[in-house]
Amino acid sequence: MKFTAQQIALLLQGTVEGNPEAFVSGVAKIEEGKPESLSFLANPKYTSFIYTTQSAIVIVNEDFIPEKEISATLIRVKDAYSAFAKLLEYYNKFKADKKGISSLAFITSNAKYGQDVYIGEFVFVGDNVRLGDGVKIYPQAYIGDDTVIGDGTIVYPGAKIYAGTVIGKECTIHAGAVVGSDGFGFAPQADNQYQKVPQTGKVILEDFVDIGANTTIDRATLGSTIIRKGVKLDNLIQIAHNVEIGENTVIAAQTGISGSTKVGRDCMFGGQVGLAGHLSIADGVKIAAQSGVGSSLRVKDQVYMGSPVMPLSEYKRMLVYMKRLEQIANKVKELEARIEGTSK
């Protein structure tokens, strides 16, 4: 399908500079642009490519000032990167606009679903499930009893949603994700064996939450594990029972959060961060990759790094000394030798 510069500008609330009837049928990096492709320029490092790209249309920031002639039609917007991301989101929704229910899906008689849903082959939909309008459930997904899924949410192939889970609108749950499995609760016994503690709670995902492939979110022992509005979780993340993650927090791959830890809103965690249980993380905290968090972080908007974690400024100072450890050790040995010689 083809779109003109004028149509794209209307969608992005931008202005056209060049031919408003220029059209595109695909997207490309600006350095790899081809005829009928759409690109964007946000990083100044790539500015040189705008003069040579073959892309028909390029999205740029409003304040971009060309130094040479440009053959492409420009669409000027406030933030080229965000605008391009918005456009890709529309493009993906257009491509994934599936509707209908496969005859090979199993849906219990008392499950309810709204308009324009898609339920693919070998999907299981359990008792008393409620699916909103436009929900899409791809093949081989499992939707457990009493689950509620809001309008426009997408559940990709092979994802497993355990019973009683509540999922808001416009969420995305990627392939292989498991939402609502038992929390890791076992009580040690006198004979060194472990008695399983029943996990009777549930998981709540609020609106606009993204769950990456093979990420797992455990149900609560009592109450709820809660992922607040706008949270984005990467692939291969473990969220334990009774964890709460605040609005618009983003967490990169292979991070693990232990039980009953509360993470504030607008936080950012790098990959492979580990958090112990029963902690409190303040709003706006940023934690660098591979950091280990063993105690609560109560200062808002602070940046942390290391294992054990510490404020970034302290970590950098420590790193300076770490790089000089061998030199310092040799100096200590030299001083010890002098002291020993003097004492004789």
For 3, the 3-state DSSP assignment is: strand
Task: Assign 1 a pLDDT band (cuts: 50, 70, 90).
Answer: confident
pLDDT at 143: 98
Q: What are phi and psi of 61, to 5 degrees?
A: -70, 155
- Provide mean pLDDT across the span 62-81: 96
Same fold, 3-95 and 100-315: no
Gap between the Cα atoms of 154 and 296, Å rounded: 34
Q: Closest Cα partner for 269 from 298, 300, 294, 303? A: 303
pLDDT at 344: 60
Please say whether the structural domain 3-95 has been given the CATH code 3.40.718.10: no
Please state, rounded to an integer, the average pLDDT across all residues of the chain. 95
Gap between the Cα atoms of 127 and 108, Å rounded: 6
Task: Assign 96 a pLDDT band (cuts: 50, 70, 90).
Answer: confident
Q: Which residues contact 148 (CB under 8 A, 6 or more apart)?
A: 129, 130, 165, 166, 167
Task: Assign 228 a pLDDT band (cuts: 50, 70, 90).
Answer: very high
pLDDT at 343: 65
The answer, yes or no, to whether the previous bond of 139 is cis (omega within 30 of 0) is: no
pLDDT at 324: 84
Q: What are phi and psi of 228, to 5 degrees?
A: -75, 170
Amino acid, res. 85: A
Q: Tell me the CA distances in angstroms from 32 to 38, 40, 156, one per residue in order.
A: 10, 11, 30
For 242, the 3-state DSSP assignment is: coil
pLDDT in tens, 241-281: 999 999 999 999 999 999 999 999 999 999 999 999 999 99
- Provide mean pLDDT across the span 200-229: 98
pLDDT of residue 288 exceeding 90, the answer is yes
pLDDT at 25: 92
pLDDT at 135: 97
Q: What are phi and psi of 153, to 5 degrees?
A: -75, 145
pLDDT of residue 341 exceeding 80, the answer is no
pLDDT at 326: 87
Task: Assign 210 a pLDDT band (cuts: 50, 70, 90).
Answer: very high
Burial of 299 (0-12, 13-18, 19+ CB in 10 A): exposed
Q: Which residues of 22-57 are buried (b: 16+ CB within 10 A; e: fewer)?
A: bbbeebbebeebeebbbbbbbeeeeeebbeebebbb
Going 141 to 145 to 150 to 151, the CA torsion angle's sign is positive
pLDDT of residue 128 exceeding 80, the answer is yes
Q: Residues 5, 241, 252, 306: which is the catalytic one?
A: 241
How do the domains of the chain map onto residue ranges? 3-95, 100-315
pLDDT of residue 328 exceeding 90, the answer is no
Q: Which residues contact 13 (CB under 8 A, 6 or more apart)?
A: 77
Q: What are phi and psi of 166, to 5 degrees?
A: -115, 120
pLDDT at 317: 87
Task: Assign 342 a pLDDT band (cuts: 50, 70, 90).
Answer: confident
Which of 39-48, 116-125, 331-340 comes out lowest in average pLDDT? 331-340
Gap between the Cα atoms of 190 and 209, Å rounded: 43
For 131, the 3-state DSSP assignment is: strand
pLDDT at 267: 98
pLDDT at 318: 86
CB 43 within 8 A of CB 61: no
Q: What is the Cα gyration radius of the chain?
A: 26
Determine whether 278 is an active site residue: no
Which of 5-9, 165-169, 265-269, 328-332 comes out lowest in average pLDDT? 328-332
Gap between the Cα atoms of 196 and 201, Å rounded: 15
Quickly name the fold that domain 100-315 has.
Answer: UDP N-Acetylglucosamine Acyltransferase; domain 1 (2.160.10)
